[in-house]
């Protein structure tokens, strides 16, 4: 049995301020950071007590890789025998040297934000990951002002490295047919991300084989359904994991819809599905 966990602690600060960021752009105080660090430590200890095989994706409400506590946790978790994959969503601005000690089960979900950092700075971090042989995916929000950066990044990245594009869905009809054709040349799976999938009362493995965990241990199906299923720090937490139907009208985010069996995304991506990395030819 394997569970995929999406961990999001109380951290909310980020060194970038992307205009499209759905998260709170805040600066955490020292005591807030300390609270987040304690939550992380407790979660890490809990993972070591589980007999299930685990995949973990850290989905912080901000940027966590810049914090030493997260870098240490990633390295340590990568060596834990029951952890098949540990990954984190990051803007890749943090120093990466400490990650050299990680096992190959570590991977990064890296997003390039062209308005916030230079192309050279971002790609130098990718170079470092290549040197360290750390798996990663790279992605960009598909705003029209990012199209040039997408072309440049696709040309720069090794041919086997997947570059995903997150469709900008807040404005309907944002893309012309020509835009969509162009984005498909960058990301062959762009069309899958372009729409929200009708999901109400349809099967989803979220809440059965995967679940979201917050800093206090509360479990939810996914980051998009608020109902609390239980708490990982209570003895009977695993009893809450069972086949479920989605209570939302639609599901439009990769970290959600990969758990919809009808789409067969996990099969398509293989072992890199958690960090969204796909081995290209
Ligand atoms: S880097 Fe990520 S978390 Fe930070 S502001 Fe940009 S989108 Fe938000
Ligand atoms: S379909 Fe999406 S929103 Fe619904 S439970 Fe699954 S992951 Fe969550």
**Tens digit of each residue's pLDDT (9 = 90 or more) over 199-228:** 999 999 999 999 999 999 999 999 999 999
> What ligand has the least distance to the C-alpha of 17?
1
CA of 62 to the centre of ligand 1 (A): 6
Tell me the CA distances in angstroms from 77 to 27, 37, 56, 62, 69, one per residue in order: 27, 15, 9, 21, 12
Q: What are phi and psi of 104, to 5 degrees?
A: -65, -5
CA-CA-CA-CA torsion sign (7, 75, 259, 188): positive
Ligand minimally distant from the alpha carbon of residue 27: 1
Sketch the domain layout of the chain as residue ranges: 2-272
Q: Which ligand has its closest atom nearest to the C-alpha of 222? A: 2
pLDDT surpassing 80 at residue 56:
yes
Least confident of 46-50, 140-144, 170-174, 213-217: 170-174
Percent of the chain predicted with pLDDT > 70: 99
For residue 20, which ligand has an atom nearest its CA? 1
- Is residue 264 classed exposed, middle or buried when 0-12, 13-18 and 19+ CB atoms within 10 A define those classes? exposed
pLDDT band per the 50, 70, 90 thresholds, residue 133: very high
Nearest to 190 by CA among 198, 199, 181: 181
What average pLDDT score do residues 157-176 get? Answer: 94
Query: How much distance in Å is there from the Cα of 89 to the middle of ligand 1?
Result: 10
Cβ atoms of 9 and 36 closer than 8 Å: yes
Minimum mean pLDDT among 21-30, 157-166, 215-224, 241-250: which range? 21-30
**Could you give the CA distance from residue 73 to residue 244 in angstroms, rounded to a whole number?**
31
Ligand 1: residue whose CA is nearest its atom 8: 21
Which of 102, 36, 94, 32 is CA-nearest to residue 63? 94
Query: Is residue 225 in contact with ligand 2, taking CB distance under 6 Å?
Result: yes
Cα gap 26→273, rounded to integer Å: 30
CA of 158 to the centre of ligand 2 (A): 33
Task: Say if residue 147's pLDDT is above 90.
Answer: yes
Test site for ligand 1: of 9, 13, 15, 23, most ligand atoms within 8 A of the Cβ = 23
CB 213 within 8 A of CB 260: no
Residue 260 Cα to ligand 2 middle (Å): 7
For residue 194, which of 206, 186, 202 has the smallest C-alpha distance? 186
Give 207 Cα–ligand 2 centroid separation in angstroms. 9
Quick check: 173 pLDDT over 80? yes
- What's the gap in Å between 145 CA and the centre of ligand 2? 30
Q: Would you tell me which CATH number, out of the four given (3.20.20, 3.30.360, 1.10.3470, 3.40.50), belongs to the domain 2-272?
A: 3.20.20
CB atoms closer than 10 angstroms to residue 39: 20
Q: Taking 90 as the threshold, does the pLDDT of residue 278 lie above it?
A: no
Rounded Cα distance, 95 and 125, in Å: 8
Nearest residue by C-alpha to atom 3 in ligand 1: 62
Q: Identify the pLDDT of residue 172.
A: 87
What whole-number distance in Å separates Cα of residue 231 and Cα of residue 118?
Answer: 41
Q: Report residue 281's pLDDT band, with 50, 70 and 90 as the boundaries.
A: low
Helix (H, G, I), strand (E, B) or coil at 4: strand
Ligand 1 centroid–CA 94 distance in Å is 13
**259 closest CA partner among 227, 215, 217, 212:** 212
| Structure tokens, 240 | 């809450």
Indicate if ligand 1 lies below 6 Å from the C-beta of 102: no
Question: Is 193 a residue whose pLDDT tops 60?
Answer: yes
Q: Report which ligand 1 atom has the smallest distance to the Cα of 22.
A: 8
């Amino acid at each position: 049995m394997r569970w995929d966990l999406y961990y999001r602690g109380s951290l909310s600060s980020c060194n970038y301020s992307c205009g499209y960021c759905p998260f709170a752009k805040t600066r955490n105080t020292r005591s807030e950071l300390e609270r987040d660090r304690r939550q992380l430590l407790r979660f890490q200890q809990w993972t070591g007590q589980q007999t299930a095989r685990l995949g973990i994706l850290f989905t912080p409400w901000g940027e966590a890789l810049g914090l030493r506590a997260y870098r240490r946790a990633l390295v340590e978790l990568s060596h834990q025998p029951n952890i098949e994959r540990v990954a984190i969503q990051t803007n890749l601005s943090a120093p990466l040297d400490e990650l050299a000690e990680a096992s190959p089960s570590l991977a990064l979900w890296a997003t390039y934000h062209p308005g916030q950092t230079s192309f050279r700075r971002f790609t130098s971090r990718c170079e470092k990951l290549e040197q360290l042989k750390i798996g990663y995916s790279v992605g960009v929000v598909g705003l029209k002002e990012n199209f040039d950066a997408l072309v440049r990044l696709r040309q720069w990245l090794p041919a086997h490295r997947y570059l995903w594009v997150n469709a900008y869905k807040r404005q309907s009809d944002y893309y012309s047919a020509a835009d969509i054709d162009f984005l498909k040349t960058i990301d062959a799976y762009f069309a899958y991300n372009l729409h929200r999938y009708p999901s109400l009362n349809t099967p989803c493995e979220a809440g059965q084989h995967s679940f979201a965990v917050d800093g206090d241990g509360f479990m939810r199906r996914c980051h998009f359904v608020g109902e609390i299923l239980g708490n990982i720090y209570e003895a009977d937490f695993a009893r809450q994991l069972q086949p479920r139907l989605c209570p939302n009208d639609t599901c439009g985010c990769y970290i959600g819809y990969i758990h919809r069996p009808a789409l067969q995304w996990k099969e398509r991506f293989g072992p890199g599905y958690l960090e969204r990395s796909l081995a290209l030819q």
